[in-house]
Amino acid sequence: MCNASFDTPLFDWIDLYLQCWYWLKNEVCIHSDFLIRAIILSAALVCITISLLGLHKLIQIQSLQKWKVRISQFLFVYVAFSAAEVFLVWQGFYPGSLYRNFRIVEQLQNLPTQYSDETGIVRYLRNGYHPADFQINLEGFRSQYEYDSATIRQLKQEGKKIVMVVGDSYVAGHTATPITNCFSDLLDSDSVASLNFGVVGTDPAQYELVCREYLPIIKPDIVLVCVYANDFLTFKRRPSPGTPIMYRTNASPNGGMIFSQKPFCFGYQPNDLFKSAEEAYRFYERHYTLRNSEQILAVFCSYSSLLTVIYNFIHPKKFSSRSVEVAGRKDARAKQILYSHLKEIQTICIRNNSRVLYFGIPANGEIIREERYVPDVKDESITIQYPTDFDRSDYSNQQGDGHLNNKGHLKYMRYLLKKTGIISQKNSFSTADYRQ
């Protein structure tokens, strides 16, 4: 039990009480954080119950029936408090943390999944902490194909169209089950070789670097660049060899990550980076949690998700917890930065005789009509095409996740087929062929 680590809120809550039980039986050691949290929660429950019931009324109770009523009221408060704790953790609000999906841990564990190569391209570690269905090629991308000239030549000799799909976690297939049910993989068929260049947490700077390195080698028939709302950045990120965009640790569970970019709200400039996961975690622990506060009440509240939320509501922090600022599609500077990368990709594609199309991925619950975005450059324009028929049923409902589910991936694949004219045998499949 000492080394147990659970990412789901229910297991986290159950583990708290199991640890206390085993500790009381002297069968196993207990984490000090778990012990203190149990004491704090118990004390909080007692205080809340006394406040609700009234201590003088509790003392004056004489009949057994009234005692039963008070005990049932206490149990109701206890269950309600526990349910609130579980729900808040399920939503990503961890005890003591002011930063959603970030939690305080006794011992930090670095769980690397990516690395940044000598040119700044972010790639997957082949021996990283990946799901079992991850198939990573020698180039560090999740694909059944190798991205070398010999493999590409063989595919072309087989008469296949080469499609290069570039993007972030949506292209990578995050939350598709299995991951090969993502739209970029579904494009693959007897007549089409779909090359997946999606990497979780990346941005347009990555997309440009990938196209710059691989287009001259692959010379695909078509390049599909899929952008999401968080690709509209307020600064032009400079790729940093050796430092990935994000760090994954046990402090950011359920696939969550910590940005390597230092938060701007503390006065840091773009491309001021945390050089290690340890440095990033210590910074967030110091500035985005209540655990190291000089106020006793804040430390007390830091051992409960509910008390943390209440404390933060009463004493809100004046700074944002976002590391990479996202301005939105209507911000002129953000559009200019995005389009500067997309235009470079367009130039690279023209140079290598490849057709390029840009597609937007709507956010969970968002309905975006197809729209033409024009940057502030004369005589030049780029069209980002958006589907208009997506709703909440097309997205995952997992904790803190807004990615496409299997139904959404299939729908988006069909949208790409319609817009690009790529022929795929999988176009005739129905949504029932894939797990939701």
Q: What is the pLDDT of residues 112-142, one digit of tens each?
A: 889 999 999 999 999 888 877 789 999 999 9
pTM given for the model: 0.78
Which tokens is 93 given? 């609000």
Q: What does the block give as tokens for 130?
A: 């990946």
Question: What was the pLDDT predicted at 59?
Answer: 53
Highest mean pLDDT among 11-20, 362-371, 425-434: 362-371
pLDDT for the residue 417: 92
Question: With pLDDT > 70 as the criterion, what percentage of the chain qualifies?
Answer: 72
pLDDT above 60: residue 149: yes
How sure is the predictor about 4, in pLDDT bands with cuts at 50, 70 and 90? very low
Backbone region of residue 328 per phi and psi (left: phi > 0; alpha: psi in -120 to 50; beta: other values) = left
Ranges 120-134, 273-287, 330-344, 357-371: which has the least confidence:
357-371
- Tell me the CA distances in angstroms from 402 to 50, 365, 436, one per residue in order: 40, 9, 14
Q: What is the rounded average pLDDT of the residues 173-200?
A: 92
Average pLDDT value for residue range 329-333: 67
Tell me the range of 72-86, 290-304, 305-319, 324-338 where mean pLDDT is highest. 290-304
pLDDT tens for 234-255 read: 888 898 999 999 898 888 865 5
Quick one: average pLDDT of 64-92? 76
* Alpha carbon distances (Å) from 302 to 19, 107, 108, 293: 19, 17, 18, 9
CB neighbour class for 269 (10 Å; exposed up to 12, middle 13-18, buried from 19): exposed
The label of the residue with tokens 């000799």 reads 157
What is the number of residues in the chain? 436
Q: Which has the closest alpha carbon to 321: 96, 105, 100?
A: 100
Type of residue numbered 338? L
